[in-house]
Amino acid sequence: MSEVRNLKVALLGCGNVGAQVARILIDDADALAARSGARLELSGIAVRNIDTPRDVELPRELFTTDAETLVKDADLVIELMGGIEPARSLILTAVRNGACVVTGNKALLAQDGPTLYEEADKAGVQLSYEAAVAGAIPILRPIRDSLSGDRITRVLGIVNGTTNFILDQMDTTGAQFADALAEAQRLGYAEADPTADVEGHDAAAKAAILASLSFHTRFSLDDVYCEGITKVTASDIASAKEAGFVIKLLAIAEKIESPDNGSGISVRVHPTLLPREHPLAAVRGAFNAVFIEAENAGELMFYGQGAGGTPTASAVLGDLVSAARRLVLGGPGRTETTTGYVQPLPVEASTTSYYIGLDVADQPGVLARIAHIFAENGVSIEIMRQTIHRDSSSAVESAELKIVTHRASEAALAATVEAVKGLDVINSVTSVLRVEGV
């Protein structure tokens, strides 16, 4: 029998995800060897501080603070440190030395992916990053491989576990934003700096990666319109709920025809109202889901755990086995297929439905005056609902008006809201949120 090849695996980072990857590499060594055709020997783990307590008990002699030396002697490198530097330089060193790299670092890929992919292709090694989008869910390989014979027209995803967890807690238990965020951090979902989650930057990085693979073009963070969840209030959530909606942070990448900009791809991340019966509305806690529309396949939905050490480690190990198999067979395969035939479009080029909450004086003719302004600005109303608020003597104090529009452009909507604000019967505009799925 021929001898099984030994491949040296260098692990960079031993935090939420890295610790679980190390555990699986050690505990499941035999199964991984059988599946990949090579023994995957964990040759070392680079960290900032060797004495930091770990979630998993691991041999102390594996730890080092000298990541550079560890990388130079590896066949396979797993980067789970996060951040831009030194992750970027270490990945470049690894590929230039002929090592295949697996990473979950979406921030780095969205900022400087093309340099890394080019270097990997030049060196003839594989750079894989399934864990970078939607944690455990196999989504990048299906887009890149399984759907490579189709044309994707739209991708709609809940791709950040932390914000989905926070919004879900606020919606179902009435939890405060700060408490829900602290719990997401404790459970290992949040980024080292959770601003990246709550301001939408993490979802935007994932949206750039999804859009690049789906539309065979290179999108970077700069091409993604981004709005996080920090401005979503408990009252937005309550009033959306009352109207039959749930608020989700959605990443959207879609092919559109814009009268001013021509045809292209709109990539955006923002809080969005979804009807409660929409499949994505049922995605709870830190779960993620990606909904894809393709010309021939039709609608597809991928669902699973989008964050957390163990689920994410599953995606990392999948990439590692796949890279090891290719090393055993010889040849890396292609990292991505970029044809660059579509342009990214600004958010102003996209249209969407909107939910507008208004606090209005309860006077005759108010609804007609408001409806007139919408019509004047070319924004068509789909639903208009009024709730009367009374004081203790049952006298009418004010009315709450909830409006859902048909698809309208950002500019038309902004002009409508400005004009409505100018009416003497408007006490305040309480919400302006985008809606999908109506």
Ligand X SMILES: N[C@@H](CC=O)C(=O)O
Tell me which residues touch ligand NDP (CB under 6 A). Answer: 13-18, 46-49, 52, 67, 80-82, 86, 104-106, 131, 135, 188-189, 191-192, 307-308, 312
Q: CB of residue 422 vs ligand NDP: minimum separation in angstroms?
A: 45
Binding mask 247-286 for ligand X (x = CB under 6 A): ----------------------------------------
Show the tokens assigned to 33.
Answer: 């060897």
Q: Which two tokens stand for residue 34?
A: 């059988």
Q: Closest residue (Cβ) to ligand NDP? A: 15
Q: Judged by CB under 6 A, which of 117, 129, 189, 303 binds ligand X?
A: 189
191 contacts ligand X (rule: CB under 6 A): yes
Q: Distance between CA 155 and CA 294 in Å, rounded? A: 9
157 binds ligand X (CB under 6 A): no
Which amino acid type is present at position 41?
E
Q: Respond yes or no: is residue 241 known to be catalytic.
A: no
Residue 307 or 356: the one with the smaller Cβ distance to ligand X is: 307
How near is the Cβ of 57 to ligand X at its closest, in Å? 24
**Ligand-binding site membership of 106 (annotated):** yes
- Closest contact distance (angstroms) between CB of 252 and ligand X is 17
How many other CB atoms sit within 10 Å of the CB of residue 178?
9
Find which of ligand NDP, ligand X, none residue 200 binds, CB within 5 to 8 Å per kind: none
The answer to whether 163 touches 198, Cβ cutoff 8 Å, is yes
Helix (H, G, I), strand (E, B) or coil at 300: strand
- Provide, rounded to whole angstroms, the least separation between the CB of residue 348 and ligand X: 28
Q: Is 18 annotated as a binding residue?
A: yes
Two tokens at 42?
A: 């964990």
Cite the DSSP H helix spans in 264-337.
309-329
Closer of 136 and 211 to ligand NDP (Cβ): 136
Element (DSSP H or E) covering residue 18 = helix 16-27
x/- site string to ligand X, residues 199 to 228, per CB under 6 A? ---x--------------------------
Site string for ligand X, 115-154 (x = CB under 6 A): --------------------x-------------------
For the record, the structure tokens of 156 come out as 């709609």
* Least Å from the CB of residue 285 to ligand NDP: 13
User: Which of ligand X, ligand NDP, none does residue 437 bind (CB under 5 to 8 Å by kind)?
Assistant: none
Among 8, 206, 248, 255, which one carries the catalytic annotation?
206
CB 297 within 8 Å of CB 147: yes
Query: Minimal distance in Å, beta carbon 189 to ligand X?
Result: 4
For residue 109, what are the contacts with CB-CB under 8 A and spacing of at least 6?
A: 103, 116, 129, 132, 205, 208, 209
Q: Summarize the chain as % helix, strand, coil (round to 5).
A: 40, 30, 30
> What is the smallest separation between the CB atom of 154 and ligand NDP, expressed in angstroms?
24
Classify residue 224 by its DSSP letter: S
Would you list the DSSP string of 320-385?
HHHHHHHHHHS----S--------EE-GGG-EEEEEEEEEE---TTHHHHHHHHHHHTT--EEEEE
Q: Of 67, 66, 131, 134, whose CA–CA distance to 99 is shortest?
A: 67
Considering only 126, 160, 266, 305, the residue that binds ligand X (CB under 6 A) is 160
29-36 and 309-329 are packed helices; what angle lies between their axes, rounded to 10 degrees? Answer: 40
Nearer to ligand X, 130 or 197 (CB): 197
Provide the terminal-to-terminal Cα distance of the chain, rounded to the nearest Å: 62
Nearer CB in complex with ligand X: 119/197: 197
Tell me whether strands 262-275 and 127-128 are parallel, antiparallel or unpaired. Answer: unpaired
From ligand X, ligand NDP, none, interface partner of 160 (C-beta below 5 to 8 A by class): ligand X
Residue 12 among known ligand-binding residues: yes
Binding mask 297-316 for ligand X (x = CB under 6 A): ---------xx---------
Going by C-beta distance under 8 Å and a sequence separation of 6 or more, which residues neighbour residue 313? 17, 20, 21, 23, 24, 131
Q: Which of 79, 130, 197, 223 binds ligand X (CB under 6 A)?
A: 197
* β partners of residue 329: none
Give residues in contact with ligand X (CB under 6 A).
135, 160-162, 189-191, 197, 202, 306-307
Task: Give the residue numbers annotated as catalytic, written as ranges.
Answer: 206
Q: Binding site: what residues are annotated?
A: 12-19, 106, 191
Q: Binding site for NADPH: what residues are annotated?
A: 106
